[in-house]
Structure 1
Amino acid sequence: MSFETQIRIPATYMRGGTSKGVFFKLDDLPEAARVPGAARDALLMRVIGSPDPYGKHTDGMGGATSSTSKCVIISPPSVPDHDVDYLYGQVAIEHAFVDWSGNCGNLSSAVGPFAIANGMVDPARVPRDGIATIRIWQANIGKTIVAHVPMRDGQVQEIGEFELDGVAFPAAEIVLEFIDPADEGDGDDGGAMFPTGNPVDTLDVPGVGTLPATMINAGIPTIFVNAADIGYTGTELQQAINEDKAALATFEAIRAQGALRMGIVTSLDEMAKRQHSPKVAFVAPPRTYVSSAGKTVKAADVDLVARALSMGKLHHAMMGTASVAIATAAAVPGTLVNAAAGGGRREVVRFGHPSGTLRVGAEVTQVGGAWTVAKAVMSRSARVLMEGSVRVPCDDVYRS
């Protein structure tokens, strides 16, 4: 009996922010996987080790969490005045599905370093020492991200003193600017940032009740509710939510109804293919708590506390895209996030999350009654963990 061998695909395993993912150059993929479709999805699922009914990713590169079940494809720019295209795939863990509906704000921090290290950026744009400004086209959502990548002796500087709660070790700081991060929108509701046109709406959720909610398109579509309205304090850690099936069902019900109101889906049946977005989050005024690392986060040191779910589970820190949504909503008077932060106008917000705190800025303006956001800014870090090749069993579906 003969057996197929494995194929090798050049790849880099990188941490970006509080996430990890497998990075590929588009041209290194098998020919059938260089275009969107079943072949690409099958390949990335096999790389990660999905679907895994055991939920462990033992036979793949994934880490069996939403933060570590990710793939990135980098290619030459398709849009003028950009350095690279960045395409992100969120791989489901127990199901055969890759969600291409949104961006990963954390892994965005690793795109610039990967592109520089792999010779994908014009050398004239990369200083030997100093800061390389890399313009990234986020292909999933059609937005620009500007990454400010530190350089030393002609190489990306990865090691430094910047500490990011949710990451065990310090590294070099990478500043990210998410340009015009709100959805373009196509309706007459008075503003694309708020798909209903309102900073707060009443959301009817069967089995849960009627809740005030802020639904916003910024960074990633996000539904915010008050922690107190669903029986929480906003200081919960993962085990308080992720081990409670009833709680997870409640959040999924809120997410589904919010997606309907936002126009993201037209029926609840579509939610099975929208696992990555929209996000659902809950917020509360500042409150002292102990983080997952045992660090005391004092109420006086944050403007509000926030928790968000990703792929059906409470995130261990905070998604980068949801951080953009938090900063943007906090800057707009009248939203639930703004109210939790004490009200008023603000360009910067520091919020508490399960792993610690994060500072994010957003520049918003109001014209003719509609709110827009010019950009959101945050700091992250990135590091190469391993580079070489991933191996996957030969398969006629995705091999060239």
Structure 2
Amino acid sequence: MAFPAQIKIPATYMRGGTSKGVFFNLTDLPEAAQQPGPVRDALLLRVIGSPDPYAKHTDGMGGATSSTSKTVILSKTTQANHDVDYLFGQVAINKPFVDWSGNCGNLTAAVGAFAIQSGLVDPTRIPENGIAEVRIWQVNIQKTIIAKVPIRNGRVQETGDFELDGVTFPAAEVEVAFVDPSAPGESVFPTGNLVDMLEVPGVGSFKATFINAGIPTIFVNAADIGYRGDEMQSDINSDSAALERFETIRAHGAVAMGLIEHPDQAQSRAHTPKIAFVAPPSSYTASSGKAIDASDIDLQVRAMSMGQLHHAMMGTAAVAIAAAACIPGTLVNLAAGGGERQSVVFGHPSGTLKVGAQTESVDGQWQVRQAIMSRSARVLMEGWVRVPPVEGL
């Protein structure tokens, strides 16, 4: 019996922040996959190796975690005063599903470098030495992101001494600014309140801050749901009852935020909203063995991603943390001690991260002008990815 040959597609495997993903130039994809739809989704699922009931991604490029089951498609920009269009697809591990509902803030740090190296940025905007400001149009959330990519001798500088907790080795620093990070036409606080009471059948009733910045996020107090706030992945991800409880809270929070009409619909948007729990600062040992003193941080934050406690912090959730921390009265702000501030340092399972935001109240409504953080990125491998033919190709 004859079997068809594999499809060969130019691709680059990159780390951005604490995530990894497979990057494509839109025009390099097979023609049928250059448009949104089931053919594109089927191709990306096969690239990553999903769905995988073994949760290993042995037959694909994924890493069987929410941080490493990611795909990126870049293309010439469709927007004035921008350099590149960036589309992100979060690939489910054990389901035949690609979630296009949000952005990946970590991989955003790699977008500028890939865009420059792929010839998608006008050469006149790239200095021989210095910083190239790549203006990114984030297609999923219809927002502008500015990535400051270091350039040396006309090429992207990837090596450096910038250390990012959650990443083993140092690299060049890439500053990323998320401009007006709330979803288009949406309020920063979708319920109109800084703090709401969230009632979750079978779980309880507790305070929550619902914020729409970077990515829709639900913040709750760790103590209100039975945690300290300094938990590690093994404390949460090995507890199936806890994971189910978090997903139930997330589903009901999504309804409260107006993202879905019924909790059952949360299954179709596993990437958003995120749910995180916060607590005042405390001393703990990070997953690397690094000792974090309570005096090193302003608060503790732990966040769930695709049904699991994240090993560090998602970039988009860090944007939400920055915005909420800089608005007096939110649960995040109160956990950090309350009051006005322009930045915070928070603890996460892998260490610490400093984030900042510019916020202001206009006619009684809070607005987030931008949120800023530093990440790093580098090419891990480039060439072609090969996949068996999928339906439609």
CA contact (8 A) 2:284 2:292 kept: yes
Query: What letter is aligned with 1:10?
Result: P
Q: Does 1:24 align with 2:19?
A: no
CA contact (8 A) 2:42 2:391 kept: no
Partner of 2:200: 205
Query: What letter is aligned with 1:53?
Result: P
Q: Does 1:221 align with 2:216?
A: yes
Query: What letter is aligned with 1:216?
Result: I
5 Å-filtered alignment, 1:85-96, equals 85-96=85-96
Q: What does the per-residue CA deviation read over 1:119-162, in whole Å, with 9 as the maximum and x for residues that have no partner?
A: 11100000011000000000000000000000011110000000
Separation (CA, whole Å) in 1 of partners of 2:27 and 2:327:
43
Tell me by how many angstroms 1:390 deviates. Answer: 0.1
Query: What letter is aligned with 2:2?
Result: S
Q: Does 1:235 align with 2:258?
A: no
Q: Does 1:177 align with 2:172?
A: no
Consecutive unaligned residues in structure 1, runs of 5 or more: 187-191
Partner of 1:189: none
Partner of 1:349: 344
Query: What letter is aligned with 2:172?
Result: A
* Equivalent position SS for 2:148: strand
Tell me by how many angstroms 1:49 deviates. Answer: 0.1
Tell me by how many angstroms 1:182 deviates. Answer: 1.3
Separation (CA, whole Å) in 2 of partners of 1:222 and 1:395:
35
CA contact (8 A) 2:86 2:137 kept: yes
Runs ≥4 residues deviating over 6 A: none
Separation (CA, whole Å) in 2 of partners of 1:391 and 1:289:
43
Separation (CA, whole Å) in 2 of partners of 1:51 and 1:254:
25
Separation (CA, whole Å) in 2 of partners of 1:343 and 1:269:
35
Partner of 2:71: 71
CA contact (8 A) 2:213 2:323 kept: yes
Separation (CA, whole Å) in 2 of partners of 1:395 and 1:301:
50
- Sequence identity percentage: 67
Tell me by how many angstroms 1:396 deviates. Answer: 3.7
Query: What letter is aligned with 1:43?
Result: L
Tell me by how many angstroms 1:183 deviates. Answer: 2.1
Query: What letter is aligned with 2:357?
Result: A
Separation (CA, whole Å) in 1 of partners of 2:382 and 2:351:
30
Q: What does the per-residue CA deviation read over 1:66-104, in whole Å, with 9 as the maximum and x for residues that have no partner?
A: 000000000010110000000000000000000000000
Partner of 2:135: 135
Separation (CA, whole Å) in 2 of partners of 1:11 and 1:273:
28
Partner of 2:14: 14
Partner of 1:124: 124
Partner of 1:304: 299
Query: What letter is aligned with 1:234?
Result: G
Partner of 2:333: 338
Tell me by how many angstroms 1:207 deviates. Answer: 1.2
CA contact (8 A) 1:144 1:178 kept: yes
Partner of 2:310: 315
Partner of 1:292: 287
Tell me by how many angstroms 1:311 deviates. Answer: 0.1
Tell me by how many angstroms 1:195 deviates. Answer: 0.3
Q: What is the TM-score normalised by the length of structure 1?
A: 0.98
Tell me by how many angstroms 1:367 deviates. Answer: 1.0
Query: What letter is aligned with 1:64?
Result: A
Separation (CA, whole Å) in 2 of partners of 1:331 and 1:246:
33
Tell me by how many angstroms 1:184 deviates. Answer: 3.0
Q: Does 1:256 align with 2:251?
A: yes
> Which residue, 176, 189, 196 being the options, matches 1:194?
189
Query: What letter is aligned with 2:250?
Result: R
Q: What does the per-residue CA deviation read over 1:185-211, in whole Å, with 9 as the maximum and x for residues that have no partner?
A: 35xxxxx00000000000001111001
CA contact (8 A) 2:87 2:140 kept: yes
Query: What letter is aligned with 2:267?
Result: A
Aligned residues: 393
Partner of 1:247: 242
Separation (CA, whole Å) in 2 of partners of 1:389 and 1:321:
29
* Equivalent position SS for 2:81: coil
Partner of 1:60: 60
Q: What does the per-residue CA deviation read over 1:221-276, in whole Å, with 9 as the maximum and x for residues that have no partner?
A: 00000000111111000000000011111111110111000000011221111100
RMSD, aligned CA? 0.6
CA contact (8 A) 2:41 2:98 kept: yes
Query: What letter is aligned with 2:146?
Result: V
Q: What does the per-residue CA deviation read over 1:314-334, in whole Å, with 9 as the maximum and x for residues that have no partner?
A: 000000000000010001111
CA contact (8 A) 1:185 1:195 kept: no
Query: What letter is aligned with 1:168?
Result: T
Partner of 2:103: 103
Consecutive unaligned residues in structure 2, runs of 5 or more: none
Q: What does the per-residue CA deviation read over 1:290-309, in whole Å, with 9 as the maximum and x for residues that have no partner?
A: 00001111100100000000
Q: What is the TM-score normalised by the length of structure 2?
A: 0.99
* Equivalent position SS for 1:381: strand
Query: What letter is aligned with 2:277?
Result: F
